[in-house]
Amino acid sequence: MARLTTPFAKAKHNVEPTKDDKDNAQKAHLEVRTHLERDPTLQSYGIDTVLIGSYKRNVSIRRVKDVDVLSKLPYLLGNCDPRTLLQQFGRVLATAYGPQRVELQDRSLKVDFPTLDLTVDVVPARPSLARPNSGYIEIPDKNGGWQETNPEKLTELTSQMNKHYGGEYVPLVKLIRQTRRNNLDKRPGGFFFEILTYHAAMSGLGADSDESLFVSALESIARQLHDVVVLGAPVPDPTRPGECIAIRTTAAQMTAAERTFRELAAKARQATKNTACEAALAYQQILGRNDDGETVFEMPAACNSDGTEKQLIDPKRGALNVPSGTKRFA
């Protein structure tokens, strides 16, 4: 029988961005997009802004720190230098927000919203020159060139996968991102683990309970990390068949991630064999606290905080039954 349904539901709730998070993110990205779309130069490139990233795919976890805005420029000339383009974006945004709030990065511009405690990353993009009409786009890379990508496809794939898992895929991604945040340093990042979760889901996860879904996803991710670190296997990009994900991480960081997730998966698998209270304690340790300092996985009502069982009234002994039975009057 399924168990720990309620603590898992609460855990999903506890990693969910708050209403303030969502409101702030919306306010910030709408404002930035309006400034960009009003600029005459960018208008001449046919600017069309869309949301991408974890916020768009609804896989952000509390707190939402950044929102990604893709600025598609369909009329941009093929010989355009990405650095020049980024500077053009920088001028538009600096005019709107002041230079202190706009930071030029390798491949995007970061606009700071200090009062909202978040940033908006603006990523310029043009249609793929190599594969025109494919839907693929190119964005600046850190070496001053262009890099092919297909971020909107991931939004579509996420939605399809979520439907396939009866709405449980997106919450699972959030729990995996929370697990990463609680157990690893900055790299590898949440996006990388989202892709690993996608591959895990593609391979088929135990979906008869929240517990089996979570544990089987952890095990699949641990196996994929093992293949990356030990076998040097690439991670396929689900949005571009035949291509792989570019991983911005050091070997040491990847090795640490592999070791950590191997241990977490083993711990979770062992938990499935233990009592519900012992298992709950294990999941609590794996998921840790959210950015508001709240415990993500709360102990079930029947369990003490140390994973032992509470002495409760046993309904099987008839504690809730009325001794005199039905048809009573008083």
Partner 1 sequence: MSTLSDSIAAMREAFIDEARTHGFRLDSDCTALVGDIDIGDQQIEHQIKLDDDFPIRMPRVSTTSGEGGLSWHRESDGSLCLWSSDEASDLPWQSARKLIERITEWHKQSVAGWPDDDPDLDLERYWQPARLSELILYPDLDGLVGRDCLARRKHGGRVLRVDLGKAPTSQQRQRSWGVAVVDVGELAQPVRDFDQLEQLLPARCAGEARRGIEQGRIRILIVRYQRQGHDAALALYAMSRDTRELGAAESAHTGEQTHYVRAGLDAESLLHKKVAIIGLGAVGSSTAELLARSGVGGFTFVEHDQLRPGNCIRHITDHNYLGWNKAEAVRKLLHNAQVIDESCIHVIEDKLTSVDDVEQLFSTHDLVVDATGDNAATALVWMASEALNRPAVSVCLQRGGSVARVDRTLLRDGESHAPPIPPGGPHLDLREGGCGDPISPAPPWACLAAASRAVGMATDLLTDRNQYPPTHIDSLIGDPNATEWE
Binding-site ranges for partner 1 (CB under 8 A):
1-7, 9-10, 12-13, 16, 166-168, 209-210, 300-302, 310-313, 315, 318-322, 324-328
Hey, which bits of the chain come out as E strands? 48-52, 66-72, 102-104, 109-113, 118-127, 137-140, 146-149
Q: How far is the CB of 292 from partner 1 (least distance, A)?
A: 17
Exposure class string for 247-277: b at 16+ Cβ within 10 A, else e: bebeeebbebbbebbbebbeebeebbeeebb
Q: How far is the CB of 171 from partner 1 (least distance, A)?
A: 8
Q: How far is the CB of 60 from partner 1 (least distance, A)?
A: 15
Three-state DSSP class for residue 94: helix
* The pairing of beta strand 137-140 with beta strand 146-149: antiparallel
Comparing CB distances to partner 1, the nearer of 252 and 319 is 319
Comparing CB distances to partner 1, the nearer of 251 and 319 is 319
Q: How far is the CB of 313 from partner 1 (least distance, A)?
A: 4
- Of 71, 81, 50, nearest to 146 by C-alpha is 81
∠ CA 60-61-62, nearest 5°, is 130
- Of 140, 81, 84, nearest to 108 by C-alpha is 140
Q: How far is the CB of 318 from partner 1 (least distance, A)?
A: 8
Comparing CB distances to partner 1, the nearer of 16 and 291 is 16
Comparing CB distances to partner 1, the nearer of 38 and 310 is 310
- Of 163, 167, 193, 168, nearest to 178 by C-alpha is 193
Q: How far apart (Å, rounded) are the C-alpha atoms in residues 293 and 300?
A: 19
Both tokens assigned to 297 = 């996985």
Comparing CB distances to partner 1, the nearer of 16 and 31 is 16
Comparing CB distances to partner 1, the nearer of 127 and 300 is 300
Q: How far is the CB of 258 from partner 1 (least distance, A)?
A: 32
Three-state DSSP class for residue 302: coil
Q: How far apart (Å, rounded) are the C-alpha atoms in residues 298 and 280?
A: 8
Q: What share of the chain is helix, strand, coil (3-state, %, to 5)?
A: 50, 15, 40
Q: How far apart (Å, rounded) are the C-alpha atoms in residues 257 and 24?
A: 32
Q: How far is the CB of 316 from partner 1 (least distance, A)?
A: 10
> Are the C-beta atoms of residues 18 and 62 closer than 8 Å to each other?
yes
Comparing CB distances to partner 1, the nearer of 78 and 166 is 166
Comparing CB distances to partner 1, the nearer of 4 and 73 is 4
Q: How far is the CB of 176 from partner 1 (least distance, A)?
A: 18
